[in-house]
């Protein structure tokens, strides 16, 4: 329970940090606004074109009489739009972080700088950072989809499907949302996806305390846009606890490799929960 509160505390600290640094809050809003416009446009297009798509995919029903034709295609149209909305929700953060990679990396660096100590830099060119971010985001989305399918199937179980499964769904979503957000600071520290997952599993309850409330808020994309800068700031503050900090700031021309303290990542490894 204490770790849950600590994780939520980092989320609040991040929001307070950007509230106290208004310029960086506005700076961090830009990627989310761009992503929101793109997603709204895509969903509007899907809304207009879903019925045509369903009609094209179900030629066998052209000769059906009323009301069966309308019921079938109406149901499938709603299903297509719902699926599109689901995809938008689970990919919104990943796409925002990808579009905003330079913005959020600068924001994360500024958080490190304001807190004192080492300000890690990856030393990689922008295209390489974008490639790593996109690759890791696809891997994370694949994991989310895998767990989503399992939980969807478990949702048909009596009682458990209506109680335990939704809670597990939010836990899974919260964990991987926290992973995507902490990736901004951890990637600058040279920590690969596999190591990041080990690190986050070691403090699973704290990560859930950070990620689950954010997942609930991010259900509304407009809310996600305004919380994203503070979420990145809070994730950076949490990373400073998870991975530790150093007192020296490396030269931008020759960044020192960041050494992950694996023992910290394995603390509390016996705590309950799913394995990412």
- Average pLDDT over all residues of the chain: 80
What mean pLDDT comes out for the span 114-137?
Answer: 75
pLDDT for the residue 17: 94
Supply the pLDDT for residue 119. Answer: 75
pLDDT value of position 215: 87
Question: Is 180 among the domain residues?
Answer: yes
Is residue 272 a part of any domain in this protein? no
Question: What mean pLDDT is predicted for residues 45-69?
Answer: 84
Q: Give the confidence band of 55 by pLDDT, cuts at 50, 70, 90.
A: confident
Q: What is the DSSP string of the chain?
A: -HHHHHHHHHHHHHHHHHHT-HHHHHHHHHHHHHHHHHHHHHHHHHHHHHHHHHHHH-GGGTTPPTTHHHHHHHHHHHHHHHHHHHHHHHHHHHHHHHHTHHHHHHHHHHHHHHH-S--------HHHHHHHHHHHHHHHHHHHHHHHHHHHHHTTSTTHHHHHHHHHHHHHHHHHHHHHHHHHHHHHTT--HHHHHHHHHHTHHHHHHHHHHHHHHHTSHHHHHHHHHHHHHHHHHHHHHHT---SPPPPTTSPPPPPP-HHHHHTTTT--S---
Whether 273 is covered by a domain: the verdict is: no
Total number of domains constituting the chain: 1
Indicate whether 74 belongs to any domain. yes
**Domain hosting residue 65, numbered range:** 2-245+257-266
Res 246: pLDDT:
45
């Amino acid at each position: 329970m204490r770790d849950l509160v600590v994780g939520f505390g980092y989320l609040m600290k991040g929001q307070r940090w950007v509230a106290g640094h208004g310029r960086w809050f506005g700076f961090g809003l830009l990627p989310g606004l761009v992503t929101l416009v793109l997603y709204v446009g895509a969903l509007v297009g899907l809304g207009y074109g879903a019925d045509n798509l369903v009609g094209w995919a179900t030629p066998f029903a052209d000769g059906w009489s009323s009301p069966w034709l309308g019921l079938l295609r109406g149901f499938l149209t709603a299903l297509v739009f719902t699926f599109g909305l689901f995809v938008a929700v689970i990919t919104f953060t990943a796409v925002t972080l990808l579009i905003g990679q330079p913005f959020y990396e600068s924001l994360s660096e500024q958080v490190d700088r304001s807190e004192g100590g080492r300000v890690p830099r990856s030393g990689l060119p922008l295209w390489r950072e974008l490639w790593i971010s996109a690759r890791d985001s696809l891997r994370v989305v694949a994991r989310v989809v895998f767990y989503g399918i399992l939980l969807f199937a478990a949702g048909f179980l009596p009682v458990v499907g209506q109680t335990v499964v939704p809670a597990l769904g939010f836990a899974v979503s919260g964990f991987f949302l926290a992973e995507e957000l902490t990736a901004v600071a951890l990637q600058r520290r040279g920590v690969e996806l596999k190591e990041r997952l080990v690190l986050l599993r070691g403090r699973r309850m704290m990560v859930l305390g950070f990620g689950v409330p954010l997942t609930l808020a991010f259900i509304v994309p407009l809310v996600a846009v305004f919380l994203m800068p503070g979420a990145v700031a809070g994730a950076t503050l949490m990373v400073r606890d998870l991975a530790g900090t150093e007192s020296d700031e490396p030269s931008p021309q020759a960044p020192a490799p960041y050494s992950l303290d694996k023992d910290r990542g394995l603390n509390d490894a016996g705590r309950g929960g799913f394995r990412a």
